[in-house]
Structure 1
Amino acid sequence: MVRQNSTGAASQRERQRRYRERLAAAREPETDDVQRAIYQALIGSIAEARQGRIPGDGGPRAVSVMSAFIKGLVTDALRRLDEAGYDPGRSRRRMRMALLPTQAPPSITG
């Protein structure tokens, strides 16, 4: 019987498939799932902060702290994109599209 060699890509796909099966069986999220959950939570927090509401405490100080925290996250992400060589204006536009509703004003850090 002649054994066929798998291509590198096919072998990688098979390893990835088995890895995902093990994660699914253990009910362990993949990194992508965790990142998506964090992103969704961030979007919710931004929406709450824009409306002046923060889950939990809900006081004015909480809104101020949350707004500053979110602004820091966005500023840091934009800095990292800039350092990676991406166009700053396009990065801000893409960030705005990803994080803010369509009716949002154009400024995300000001």
Structure 2
Amino acid sequence: MHDKNSNKPLMTNDFQKDVLFYSVQLFRQRLNEIDEICECMKLFGWHRDNKKESLPLFGGIQGDEYQRSLGNSQQAFDRALSIVKRYSKYILDISTYAHSIWSQEFKR
């Protein structure tokens, strides 16, 4: 049907393999970055049912120091996650423009 109604071939072999493989590699890298974010959410997220849970209590002489350190880590993660949320529309977009924005923000 296509051959009868069009003078253009249905498929061409003039695509650039390097561009295709680069795009696939870039997309795989993006998925790895998303996986890294998810792993960090498990460690520092402390959210359940969209509510923030309290941090665990540490006993002993250095318990307060551990508590403070974990709290600081959680706050830093929350700040980083808010940046990721702000640019989430670019999360799976590997176009040149979106990639440069995502790369800048993800590496902060």
TM exceeding 0.5: no
Greater C-alpha radius of gyration: 2
Query: TM-score band (shorter)?
Result: 0.3 to 0.5
TM normalised by structure 1 equals: 0.37
